[in-house]
Protein backbone atom coordinates (compact mmCIF):
# COMPACT_ATOMS: atom_id res chain seq x y z
CA UNK A 1 0.00 0.00 0.00
CA UNK A 2 1.35 3.43 -0.82
CA UNK A 3 2.18 5.99 1.85
CA UNK A 4 -1.12 6.81 3.54
CA UNK A 5 -2.54 10.26 3.85
CA UNK A 6 -3.50 11.03 7.44
CA UNK A 7 -6.78 12.73 8.15
CA UNK A 8 -9.59 12.18 10.64
CA UNK A 9 -13.28 12.67 10.08
CA UNK A 10 -16.38 12.02 12.13
CA UNK A 11 -18.60 12.02 9.11
CA UNK A 12 -16.94 12.33 5.71
CA UNK A 13 -18.80 14.41 3.13
CA UNK A 14 -20.76 12.25 0.76
CA UNK A 15 -20.21 12.58 -2.92
CA UNK A 16 -23.30 13.38 -4.92
CA UNK A 17 -24.49 10.25 -6.65
CA UNK A 18 -24.82 10.35 -10.41
CA UNK A 19 -28.29 9.76 -11.75
CA UNK A 20 -28.50 7.11 -14.47
CA UNK A 21 -30.96 7.77 -17.26
CA UNK A 22 -32.06 4.71 -19.26
CA UNK A 23 -33.39 5.39 -22.73
CA UNK A 24 -35.24 3.04 -25.01
CA UNK A 25 -37.10 1.09 -22.33
CA UNK A 26 -40.26 -0.64 -23.50
CA UNK A 27 -43.65 -0.23 -21.90
CA UNK A 28 -43.15 -3.30 -19.69
CA UNK A 29 -41.46 -1.11 -17.11
CA UNK A 30 -44.92 -0.04 -15.97
CA UNK A 31 -45.52 -3.61 -14.76
CA UNK A 32 -43.14 -2.75 -11.90
CA UNK A 33 -45.78 -0.43 -10.45
CA UNK A 34 -46.24 -2.70 -7.45
CA UNK A 35 -42.52 -2.55 -6.60
CA UNK A 36 -42.58 1.22 -6.96
CA UNK A 37 -45.49 1.49 -4.54
CA UNK A 38 -43.69 -0.65 -1.96
CA UNK A 39 -40.48 1.36 -2.25
CA UNK A 40 -42.08 4.82 -2.17
CA UNK A 41 -41.80 6.85 1.05
CA UNK A 42 -44.84 6.77 3.30
CA UNK A 43 -45.76 10.40 2.63
CA UNK A 44 -45.81 9.73 -1.13
CA UNK A 45 -47.82 6.56 -0.60
CA UNK A 46 -50.47 8.33 1.52
CA UNK A 47 -50.68 11.25 -0.92
CA UNK A 48 -51.09 8.76 -3.76
CA UNK A 49 -53.99 7.03 -2.02
CA UNK A 50 -55.64 10.40 -1.34
CA UNK A 51 -55.18 11.48 -4.97
CA UNK A 52 -56.76 8.26 -6.26
CA UNK A 53 -59.67 8.67 -3.85
CA UNK A 54 -60.35 12.27 -4.92
CA UNK A 55 -59.97 11.51 -8.64
CA UNK A 56 -62.43 8.58 -8.53
CA UNK A 57 -65.02 10.65 -6.70
CA UNK A 58 -64.51 13.61 -9.05
CA UNK A 59 -65.10 11.36 -12.07
CA UNK A 60 -68.29 9.91 -10.61
CA UNK A 61 -69.45 13.41 -9.60
CA UNK A 62 -69.25 14.50 -13.23
CA UNK A 63 -71.15 11.39 -14.28
CA UNK A 64 -73.88 12.12 -11.72
CA UNK A 65 -74.19 15.67 -13.08
CA UNK A 66 -75.21 14.29 -16.48
CA UNK A 67 -78.59 13.60 -14.91
CA UNK A 68 -79.61 16.87 -13.14
CA UNK A 69 -82.54 15.19 -11.35
CA UNK A 70 -80.81 11.92 -10.57
CA UNK A 71 -79.92 12.73 -6.94
CA UNK A 72 -82.74 13.52 -4.53
CA UNK A 73 -81.93 16.45 -2.23
CA UNK A 74 -79.15 17.80 -4.47
CA UNK A 75 -79.15 21.09 -6.30
CA UNK A 76 -79.50 20.49 -10.08
CA UNK A 77 -76.10 20.68 -11.77
CA UNK A 78 -74.20 21.25 -8.49
CA UNK A 79 -70.75 19.65 -8.63
CA UNK A 80 -70.31 19.97 -4.86
CA UNK A 81 -73.53 18.08 -4.09
CA UNK A 82 -72.69 15.39 -6.66
CA UNK A 83 -69.15 15.10 -5.26
CA UNK A 84 -70.30 14.73 -1.67
CA UNK A 85 -72.93 12.20 -2.73
CA UNK A 86 -70.18 10.26 -4.49
CA UNK A 87 -68.06 10.28 -1.32
CA UNK A 88 -71.00 9.01 0.72
CA UNK A 89 -71.61 6.25 -1.82
CA UNK A 90 -67.91 5.38 -2.02
CA UNK A 91 -67.65 5.06 1.75
CA UNK A 92 -71.07 3.42 2.25
CA UNK A 93 -72.02 6.25 4.60
CA UNK A 94 -75.59 7.17 3.61
CA UNK A 95 -76.70 10.07 5.81
CA UNK A 96 -80.16 9.96 4.27
CA UNK A 97 -80.13 13.54 2.87
CA UNK A 98 -78.88 12.64 -0.62
CA UNK A 99 -80.10 9.52 -2.41
CA UNK A 100 -80.34 8.18 -6.00
CA UNK A 101 -83.69 8.86 -7.64
CA UNK A 102 -83.45 7.72 -11.28
CA UNK A 103 -82.39 4.42 -12.89
CA UNK A 104 -79.29 6.15 -14.29
CA UNK A 105 -78.22 7.31 -10.82
CA UNK A 106 -78.85 3.85 -9.36
CA UNK A 107 -76.68 2.30 -12.08
CA UNK A 108 -73.87 4.70 -11.22
CA UNK A 109 -74.28 3.88 -7.53
CA UNK A 110 -73.94 0.19 -8.37
CA UNK A 111 -70.80 0.81 -10.45
CA UNK A 112 -69.24 3.07 -7.82
CA UNK A 113 -69.93 0.55 -5.05
CA UNK A 114 -68.02 -2.07 -7.01
CA UNK A 115 -65.12 0.36 -7.64
CA UNK A 116 -65.06 1.25 -3.94
CA UNK A 117 -64.94 -2.44 -3.01
CA UNK A 118 -62.00 -3.12 -5.34
CA UNK A 119 -60.17 0.07 -4.32
CA UNK A 120 -60.53 -0.76 -0.62
CA UNK A 121 -59.20 -4.27 -1.13
CA UNK A 122 -56.19 -3.02 -3.10
CA UNK A 123 -55.41 -0.24 -0.63
CA UNK A 124 -55.65 -2.65 2.32
CA UNK A 125 -53.35 -5.13 0.60
CA UNK A 126 -50.76 -2.46 -0.22
CA UNK A 127 -50.74 -1.09 3.33
CA UNK A 128 -50.36 -4.60 4.76
CA UNK A 129 -47.58 -5.42 2.29
CA UNK A 130 -45.68 -2.27 3.26
CA UNK A 131 -46.04 -2.98 6.99
CA UNK A 132 -45.14 -6.67 6.71
CA UNK A 133 -42.15 -6.24 4.38
CA UNK A 134 -39.01 -7.26 6.33
CA UNK A 135 -36.14 -4.82 6.36
CA UNK A 136 -32.90 -4.54 8.27
CA UNK A 137 -31.97 -1.70 10.60
CA UNK A 138 -28.23 -2.07 10.14
CA UNK A 139 -26.06 0.99 10.72
CA UNK A 140 -22.86 1.23 8.70
CA UNK A 141 -20.01 3.54 9.65
CA UNK A 142 -19.89 6.75 7.64
CA UNK A 143 -16.36 5.98 6.48
CA UNK A 144 -14.09 3.03 5.84
CA UNK A 145 -10.51 3.18 7.07
CA UNK A 146 -7.20 1.62 6.13
CA UNK A 147 -5.21 0.87 9.27
CA UNK A 148 -2.54 -1.54 10.41
CA UNK A 149 -3.87 -4.82 11.81
CA UNK A 150 -1.66 -7.78 12.64
CA UNK A 151 1.22 -5.91 11.03
CA UNK A 152 -0.50 -5.51 7.64
CA UNK A 153 -2.58 -2.71 6.09
CA UNK A 154 -6.24 -3.65 6.46
CA UNK A 155 -9.42 -2.13 5.11
CA UNK A 156 -12.08 -1.83 7.83
CA UNK A 157 -15.60 -0.56 8.31
CA UNK A 158 -18.24 -1.12 10.96
CA UNK A 159 -21.75 -2.53 10.93
CA UNK A 160 -24.22 -2.36 13.81
CA UNK A 161 -27.58 -4.09 14.33
CA UNK A 162 -29.78 -1.26 15.65
CA UNK A 163 -32.88 -3.37 16.18
CA UNK A 164 -31.57 -4.95 19.37
CA UNK A 165 -32.54 -8.50 18.38
CA UNK A 166 -30.37 -11.09 16.66
CA UNK A 167 -29.61 -11.72 12.99
CA UNK A 168 -28.93 -15.41 12.54
CA UNK A 169 -26.40 -16.71 10.02
CA UNK A 170 -25.39 -13.22 8.93
CA UNK A 171 -23.09 -12.98 5.96
CA UNK A 172 -21.48 -10.03 4.21
CA UNK A 173 -19.77 -9.58 0.87
CA UNK A 174 -17.71 -6.56 -0.17
CA UNK A 175 -17.01 -5.70 -3.81
CA UNK A 176 -14.46 -3.20 -5.08
CA UNK A 177 -15.84 -1.34 -8.09
CA UNK A 178 -13.74 0.91 -10.32
CA UNK A 179 -13.41 2.22 -13.84
CA UNK A 180 -10.87 0.24 -15.87
CA UNK A 181 -9.63 0.35 -19.45
CA UNK A 182 -9.06 -2.89 -21.33
CA UNK A 183 -6.17 -3.54 -23.72
CA UNK A 184 -8.54 -2.68 -26.57
CA UNK A 185 -9.18 0.75 -25.04
CA UNK A 186 -12.71 -0.08 -23.84
CA UNK A 187 -13.69 1.68 -20.60
CA UNK A 188 -15.79 -0.54 -18.39
CA UNK A 189 -16.85 -0.93 -14.78
CA UNK A 190 -15.00 -3.74 -13.02
CA UNK A 191 -16.10 -5.50 -9.86
CA UNK A 192 -13.74 -7.53 -7.69
CA UNK A 193 -14.96 -9.33 -4.59
CA UNK A 194 -12.70 -8.75 -1.62
CA UNK A 195 -11.65 -11.65 0.60
CA UNK A 196 -12.61 -10.88 4.19
CA UNK A 197 -11.02 -11.91 7.46
CA UNK A 198 -14.50 -13.03 8.55
CA UNK A 199 -17.36 -13.00 6.08
CA UNK A 200 -19.97 -14.84 8.18
CA UNK A 201 -21.07 -14.86 11.79
CA UNK A 202 -23.58 -17.26 13.34
CA UNK A 203 -25.02 -14.50 15.51
CA UNK A 204 -25.01 -10.77 14.65
CA UNK A 205 -26.38 -8.90 17.66
CA UNK A 206 -23.92 -6.10 18.43
CA UNK A 207 -21.15 -4.52 16.39
CA UNK A 208 -19.23 -6.13 13.55
CA UNK A 209 -15.94 -4.77 12.19
CA UNK A 210 -15.55 -6.04 8.64
CA UNK A 211 -11.89 -6.38 7.60
CA UNK A 212 -10.01 -7.06 4.38
CA UNK A 213 -6.25 -7.61 4.44
CA UNK A 214 -4.48 -5.65 1.70
CA UNK A 215 -1.76 -7.94 0.39
CA UNK A 216 -0.26 -8.68 -3.03
CA UNK A 217 -3.42 -10.47 -4.14
CA UNK A 218 -5.78 -7.65 -3.14
CA UNK A 219 -7.17 -5.34 -5.85
CA UNK A 220 -6.44 -2.49 -3.39
CA UNK A 221 -2.74 -3.29 -3.29
CA UNK A 222 -0.71 -0.23 -4.26
CA UNK A 223 -3.76 2.01 -4.40
CA UNK A 224 -3.58 5.59 -3.19
CA UNK A 225 -6.33 8.10 -2.40
CA UNK A 226 -5.53 9.82 -5.69
CA UNK A 227 -5.79 6.62 -7.74
CA UNK A 228 -9.04 5.66 -6.01
CA UNK A 229 -10.56 9.03 -6.88
CA UNK A 230 -9.28 8.85 -10.46
CA UNK A 231 -10.83 5.40 -10.94
CA UNK A 232 -14.12 6.52 -9.33
CA UNK A 233 -13.69 3.60 -6.94
CA UNK A 234 -16.44 2.37 -4.65
CA UNK A 235 -16.83 -0.28 -1.97
CA UNK A 236 -20.19 -2.05 -2.11
CA UNK A 237 -21.18 -3.94 1.04
CA UNK A 238 -24.10 -6.40 0.99
CA UNK A 239 -25.25 -7.93 4.29
CA UNK A 240 -27.95 -10.56 4.70
CA UNK A 241 -29.23 -12.82 7.43
CA UNK A 242 -32.33 -14.24 9.12
CA UNK A 243 -34.21 -12.01 11.54
CA UNK A 244 -34.91 -14.15 14.60
CA UNK A 245 -38.15 -12.24 15.32
CA UNK A 246 -39.67 -12.33 11.84
CA UNK A 247 -37.99 -15.61 10.80
CA UNK A 248 -37.41 -14.00 7.41
CA UNK A 249 -34.36 -13.00 5.41
CA UNK A 250 -33.35 -9.35 5.64
CA UNK A 251 -30.87 -7.39 3.56
CA UNK A 252 -28.79 -4.26 4.01
CA UNK A 253 -26.59 -2.44 1.51
CA UNK A 254 -24.08 0.37 1.80
CA UNK A 255 -21.69 2.05 -0.62
CA UNK A 256 -18.44 3.84 0.22
CA UNK A 257 -17.10 6.24 -2.39
CA UNK A 258 -13.40 6.99 -2.82
CA UNK A 259 -13.50 10.07 -0.59
CA UNK A 260 -15.03 7.99 2.21
CA UNK A 261 -12.03 5.66 2.41
CA UNK A 262 -9.60 7.21 4.92
CA UNK A 263 -5.97 6.09 4.90
CA UNK A 264 -3.89 6.16 8.05
CA UNK A 265 -6.94 6.15 10.32
CA UNK A 266 -8.50 3.63 12.67
CA UNK A 267 -11.83 3.50 14.47
CA UNK A 268 -12.01 4.47 18.11
CA UNK A 269 -13.14 1.83 20.58
CA UNK A 270 -16.88 1.95 21.28
CA UNK A 271 -17.15 -1.15 23.48
CA UNK A 272 -16.92 -0.83 27.24
CA UNK A 273 -18.18 -2.69 30.29
CA UNK A 274 -20.38 -1.42 33.10
CA UNK A 275 -19.52 -2.24 36.74
CA UNK A 276 -22.19 -4.97 36.67
CA UNK A 277 -20.42 -6.60 33.74
CA UNK A 278 -22.87 -5.48 31.04
CA UNK A 279 -21.44 -4.58 27.67
CA UNK A 280 -22.01 -0.99 26.51
CA UNK A 281 -21.71 0.19 22.92
CA UNK A 282 -21.42 3.97 22.54
CA UNK A 283 -23.00 4.78 19.17
CA UNK A 284 -22.06 8.44 19.66
CA UNK A 285 -18.49 7.41 18.72
CA UNK A 286 -19.47 4.75 16.20
CA UNK A 287 -18.25 6.83 13.25
CA UNK A 288 -15.25 8.44 14.96
CA UNK A 289 -11.71 7.76 13.79
CA UNK A 290 -8.26 8.55 15.12
CA UNK A 291 -4.76 8.51 13.61
CA UNK A 292 -3.36 5.03 13.17
CA UNK A 293 -0.33 4.52 15.39
CA UNK A 294 0.88 0.95 14.88
CA UNK A 295 2.57 -0.62 17.90
CA UNK A 296 5.69 -2.52 16.96
CA UNK A 297 5.98 -6.01 18.36
CA UNK A 298 8.89 -6.41 20.83
CA UNK A 299 11.97 -8.19 19.58
CA UNK A 300 12.37 -11.73 20.90
CA UNK A 301 15.98 -10.85 21.87
CA UNK A 302 14.94 -7.75 23.80
CA UNK A 303 15.48 -7.98 27.56
CA UNK A 304 12.43 -8.35 29.73
CA UNK A 305 11.38 -5.17 31.56
Hey, which bits of 16-134 come out as E strands? 71-72, 99-100
pLDDT of res. 286: 87
C-alpha to C-alpha distance for 237 and 234, rounded to whole angstroms: 10
Q: What string of DSSP letters covers 166-178?
A: -EEEEEEEEEEEE
Burial category of 185 from C-beta neighbours within 10 Å (exposed 0-12, middle 13-18, buried 19 and up):
exposed
Residues of the chain with confidence (pLDDT) below 70: 1-31, 294-305
Model confidence pTM above 0.75: no
For each of the domains in the chain, give its residue range(s) and CATH number, in order of start: 30-132 (1.10.287.70), 138-291 (2.60.40.1400)
C-alpha to C-alpha distance for 193 and 210, rounded to whole angstroms: 14
pLDDT of res. 296: 52
Phi, psi of 238 (to 5 degrees): -125, 120
pLDDT of res. 89: 93
pLDDT of res. 30: 61
Of 208, 214, 209, which Cα lies nearest the Cα of 155? 214
Phi, psi of 104 (to 5 degrees): -60, -45
pLDDT in tens, 40-96: 899 999 999 999 999 999 999 999 999 988 999 989 889 999 999 999 999 988 888
pLDDT of res. 1: 46
Amino acid sequence: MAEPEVGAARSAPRKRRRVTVIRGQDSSRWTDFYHGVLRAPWWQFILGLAAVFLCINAVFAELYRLDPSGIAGARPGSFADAFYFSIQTFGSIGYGVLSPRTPYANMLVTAESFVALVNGALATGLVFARFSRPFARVLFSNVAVIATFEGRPTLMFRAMNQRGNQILGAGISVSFARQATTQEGIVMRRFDELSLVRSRTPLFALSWTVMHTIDETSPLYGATPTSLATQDAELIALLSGTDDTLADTIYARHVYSADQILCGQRFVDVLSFAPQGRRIIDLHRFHDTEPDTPISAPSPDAPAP
